Copies of this chain bind each other. A is one copy, B any other.
Amino acid sequence: MLNFTFCNPTKILFGKGMIKDIAKEIPKEAKIMITYGGGSVKRNGVLDEVKAALPGYDIDEFAGIEPNPAYETLMRCTEKVRDQKIDFLLAVGGGSVIDGTKFIAAAANFAGEPWDIVKSFGRGVRQALPFGAVLTLPASGSEMNSGAVITRLATKTKLPISNPHLFPKFSVLDPTKTFSLPASQIGNGVVDTFVHITEQYLTYPVMGKVQDRLAEGLLLTLIEEGPQALADPENYDVRANLMWCATLGLNGLISAGVPQDWATHMIGHELTALHGLDHAKTLAIVLPAMLRIRKDDKKQKLLQYAERVWGISRGDEDARMDEAIDKTREFFERMQVKTRLCDYGITAEAIPAVVEQLKAHGMVKLGEKFNVTPEMVEKILGQCL
């Protein structure tokens, strides 16, 4: 097992009706800015429920944080936060709204050019406004971690940031708030969570047996509950398990003490930035090809994954690995997420631009062994067609 430090101070309020408890988590004198996205939280009543839980507070709102939150949008909110001397942010929405709110929290009192926060991958952040979250879409894990992904529209750049100042003070996870999500977002959320976990699990063994068991437990739960969530949208327990899986899949626990990959995510970010594909769809496309091409590097973990997650114990090693990768792709398709570039109208001609963008962002030695080069990315994308 590798050495690690682990600290996750976010308070989770989990379950039906927990929104009503948020006033206990926010100082009475706080000036709050509620941030949200395209307005679904307005239509489904969640925003009203949040405001009703905060009687007597000084509250403003900022709407319009889009999927793949844009620096340009977030800077408009940051200006408002500065002008109005807001001192608490409350994100109501999914991962994009929470990610965007993290950037605003970091940028509000940032000394210098705010884009430097992103350029430094968050390392330059020295403080942030306190913020909480009310989660409506389980997927990103942002509700209980200190990371975010920010997009600059002008340059089609999508980059991750991370900083210990960017943990939410609290997050409300009420599974009933996910009942009204369209099937496509449930599918995306399950795939996103699944690939978060494989990025931290399908690397090489370091005798992190605890971490492996936890990761496998989350994957098994996703496989069991994901299709159920599509078949039975108002099944509370199914939604609760998926929601808690998504949070635990990326809160720092399963990665503590083991190597991490993230090459699939980095390639996926470029596909989203260039072609506008949903984040999860890019992961569903890239992961199977990624695993197949790096089979030798990942052999021991892939065999363990085949056996413990998919129950595959027959056949030679190569066949077992292939079967596990096939089952992974089938699972994504069962979640109604397509797994080929052609499914989204993207052809071989698009590949060089993706590789160039990765190079431009310094992503030339990806993966847990730093051996995923631009040449390998080209090969991987070739198998995604």
Chain A 1-22 interface 0/1 with B at a Cβ cutoff of 8 Å (1 = within):
1111111111111111110000
- A125 interfacial contact with B, CB 8 Å: no
Minimum Cβ distance to chain B for residue A72 (Å): 35
Do B11 and A7 have beta carbons less than 8 Å apart?
yes
Q: Which residues of B contact A7 (CB under 8 A)?
A: 9-12
A18 touching B3 by the CB < 8 A rule? yes
Q: Is the CB of B214 within 8 A of A1?
A: no
Question: In the docked arrangement, what's the CA distance between A219 and B2, Å?
Answer: 21
CB distance from A63 to the nearest CB of B (A): 29
A241 pairs with B12, CB closer than 8 A: no
Q: Is A57 part of the contact surface with B, judged by Cβ < 8 Å?
A: no
Most buried by B among A5, A10, A206, A208: A5
Partner of A14 from the list B10, B175, B224, B257 (CB cut-off 8 Å) is B257
Contacts of A8 in B (CB 8 A): 8-9
- Interchain CB contact under 8 A, B5 and A13: yes
Partner of A241 from the list B1, B175, B244 (CB cut-off 8 Å) is B1
When distances are taken between beta carbons in the complex, the residues of chain B under 8 Å from A364 are none
Complex CA–CA separation, A224 to B3 (angstroms): 21
A322 close to chain B: CB less than 8 A: no
Partner of A6, one of B12, B175, B257: B12
Residue of B1, B15, B241, B244 near A237 (CB, 8 A) is: B1
* Neighbour of A15 across the interface among B4, B18, B213, B236, CB < 8 A: B4
Quick one: given A7-B9, A15-B2, are A220 and B225 in contact (CB under 8 Å)?
A: no
Question: What total of chain A residues lie within 8 Å of the partner, measured CB to CB?
Answer: 43
Interface centre among A2, A6, A209 (most CB of B within 10 A): A209
Of A10, A224, A241, A257, which is in contact with the most chain B CB atoms at under 10 Å from its CB? A241
Closest 8 CB pairs of A and B: A3-B15, A213-B217, A207-B237, A7-B11, A9-B9, A1-B240, A6-B12, A209-B241
The smallest C-beta distance from A26 to any residue of chain B, in angstroms, reads 15
Q: Is A210 an interface residue (CB 8 A)?
A: yes
Query: Does A99 interact with chain B (Cβ within 8 Å)?
Result: no
Q: Binary interface profile of A, 238-261, with partner B (CB < 8 Å = 1, else 0)?
A: 001100110010000100110000
Complexed CA–CA distance, A214 and B257 (Å): 17
**What 0/1 pattern do residues 249 to 276 of A give for CB contact below 8 A with B?**
0000100110000000000000000000
B14 near A241 with CB under 8 A, answer no
Interface flag for A221 (CB, 8 Å): yes
The docked-state distance in angstroms from the alpha carbon of A8 to that of B4 is 17
What is the CA–CA distance of A210 and B245 in the complex, to the nearest angstrom? 7
Residues of the B chain whose Cβ atoms lie less than 8 Å from the Cβ of A214: 214, 217, 248
Question: What are 24 A-B interface contacts by the 8 Å CB criterion?
Answer: A1-B15, A1-B175, A1-B236, A1-B237, A1-B241, A2-B15, A3-B15, A3-B16, A3-B18, A4-B14, A4-B15, A6-B12, A7-B9, A7-B10, A15-B257, A207-B237, A207-B241, A209-B221, A209-B224, A210-B221, A210-B241, A210-B245, A214-B217, A253-B253
Contact A1 B213 (CB under 8 A): no
Check A216 for interface membership: any CB of B closer than 8 A.
yes
Other than the known A4-B14, A9-B9, A213-B218, what 12 A-B pairs have Cβ atoms closer than 8 Å?
Answer: A1-B14, A1-B240, A3-B14, A5-B13, A7-B10, A12-B256, A15-B257, A207-B241, A209-B224, A209-B237, A210-B218, A214-B214
